[in-house]
Chains A and B, each alone.
Chain A
Amino acid sequence: MTDSLLRLLIFVQTVCFGAAFVLYLLKKTRPGRVFWLLAETASVTLVIHNFLVNGYVPFVSMYQILTFSAALFGAVYLYIAYFRDAEVRKEFHWTAPYFIGCSLTVSVGLCFMDIAAVWQFPPALRSPWFLPHILVYVIAYIMAAAAFAMTVTKFFVRGDRLRVKQLDGGIYDCVCVLFPCMTAGMLLGAVWANEVWGAFWSWDIKECWALVTWLMFMTWLHFRRTPGLSKFRDLLLIAGFVCVIVTFFFVNGMNAAEMSMHTYN
């Protein structure tokens, strides 16, 4: 596929996510679902294209990871909404606009990204641990984005107790997927580091931010169960998502990253 065709596909995907998002907000779920399906089809096509271009998992640039993320929001929503028990299913359908909104945000970002850039794969990254480490982290991060969107919504509907209760349930469902994935991502990374760098943990800048992010969500889980403190958990979730953004996007630009084992250029 040529670059212009890829750009067109990203644009179509963005428009379809946008249309689905608006239709879901207007409670017109049936046509919304059609546009969501179209957007997901475009997303999956882009992921398959990236896979074929690489001949390997499509995680060799920020563009490729975000393309995969845009598609994965839908897949994770489907997992929670359709493949779990009936009670969860009934409670989770209303979260669709949040997942579509997150996909839309990522997709808008993709429109402005350099789609040709690829990261070189030095010997350290050529490991069977690479795929599971990145994959579970991507799932964790997209669930963090969905949970963050729901938490922010809570501030706008504070007076509506039923709505707040529903949002709390949705946030918890997201964290229930997020936390095991984030734990697995961090620990599989540690096991991999022990095979490649000779240490499970090096207090590298990326590792430090990953640990702080994990601790934020672990504290969220403990606060949720503690009477008197649970009302502060929304602040923790927002702080946790800020840490996700820092870990994912900004760590490599920091001064300390020059010494980082996670810097490959």
Chain B
Amino acid sequence: MRNRISGAVSLGLLGITLFFLILTVGFSTGSSADFRGTAVSAVLAVGGLFTGASLVFAKPSGNLPKKCGFYLTHAGIVLLLAGFALFEFAGDSVTAAVPVGGETFYSNIQRENGEICDLGFHFRADSRLIEYDETGYETQYYADLSFADPVTLKIDGETLSVNHPVRRNGWKIYLMSFTYAADGTPAPDYVNLILRRDPGEYAVKAGVVLLIAGTVLELLIGNAVRTKSTTKKEDGHD
């Protein structure tokens, strides 16, 4: 019975691998591949359910680090997938091009499909700066943002840069690039931002920690402390 379950899990995993391989090869050769479609979500959901079931029903063998590693690894995968699912169901992401130096504070962003996204806070871009190295190559972008409280009218500012998003009202704001106005035109420059509200962020991060710790425990540490008795098994390793 145990061998049958193990066989089913392995074949299921092979199926998932081949599914993503076929999609990826298609994507690489130029055909359209819908990674955000129902099929991918269903495959990931089934994978997550089986991983969760193995946490409950599987009996890992080997020494203590291997056993702990098994549980951490599988729990990590479940948490990761749950975190991604949380974003899909309850998260939000929107891109915005905000004019630099304007007086207006923005709280509603229009999506590409025309819908309005209410951020729940008011902000504007005051200035932008590009840092260069000695060869003239761009090394960092900065944007100074101001946030206004509509009730108290208090304004506070934060500097945003690439790799350093800022948090506001459950949203994370990312600096992506700048769009420059043509010379001689009165049009302003724009700061291009991504704003993302991800309720699954901490679940994903916890999953990352568990998954890395689990594989290290199960394969690196569990294998390093194997004893003479385990090395005598069929293939000499376990």
Count of A residues near B, CB < 8 Å? 61
Residue pair B28, A196 in contact (C-beta under 8 Å): no
Task: Tell me which residues across on chain B come within 8 A of A198, comparing CB atoms.
Answer: 93, 165, 172, 174, 176, 194-196
* A183 and B208 alpha carbons, distance in the complex (Å): 9
Task: Tell me which residues across on chain A come within 8 A of B24, comparing CB atoms.
Answer: 205, 208-209, 211-212
* A232 and B234 alpha carbons, distance in the complex (Å): 17
Q: A183-B215, A195-B165 are in contact. Are A165 and B235 (CB under 8 A)?
A: yes
Residue pair B205, A223 in contact (C-beta under 8 Å): no
Tell me if B's interface is mostly helix, strand, loop or mixed.
helix
Instruction: Tell me if B231 is interfacial: C-beta within 8 Å of chain A.
Output: yes
Q: A85-B226, A126-B139 are in contact. Are A176 and B16 (CB under 8 A)?
A: no
Tell me if A's interface is mostly helix, strand, loop or mixed.
helix
Binary interface encoding of chain A residues 223-265 relative to chain B, with 1 for a CB under 8 A from any of its CBs, else 0: 1011111000000100000010000000100111000000000
Q: A168-B235, A198-B196 are in contact. Are A219 and B10 (CB under 8 A)?
A: yes
Interface residues of B (CB under 8 A from A): 3, 6-7, 9-11, 13-14, 16-17, 20-21, 23-24, 27-30, 35-36, 83-84, 93, 137-141, 161-165, 172, 174, 176, 194-196, 201, 204-205, 208, 211-212, 215-216, 219-220, 223-228, 231, 235-237
Which 9 A-B pairs give the minimum distances between C-beta atoms?
Answer: A203-B35, A123-B162, A198-B194, A180-B215, A215-B17, A198-B174, A176-B219, A208-B24, A222-B10
Q: Would you mind naming 14 contact pairs between A and B with Cβ atoms under 8 Å apart? A: A85-B225, A88-B224, A91-B236, A123-B161, A123-B163, A126-B163, A173-B237, A195-B164, A196-B163, A205-B24, A211-B24, A227-B3, A228-B7, A243-B21
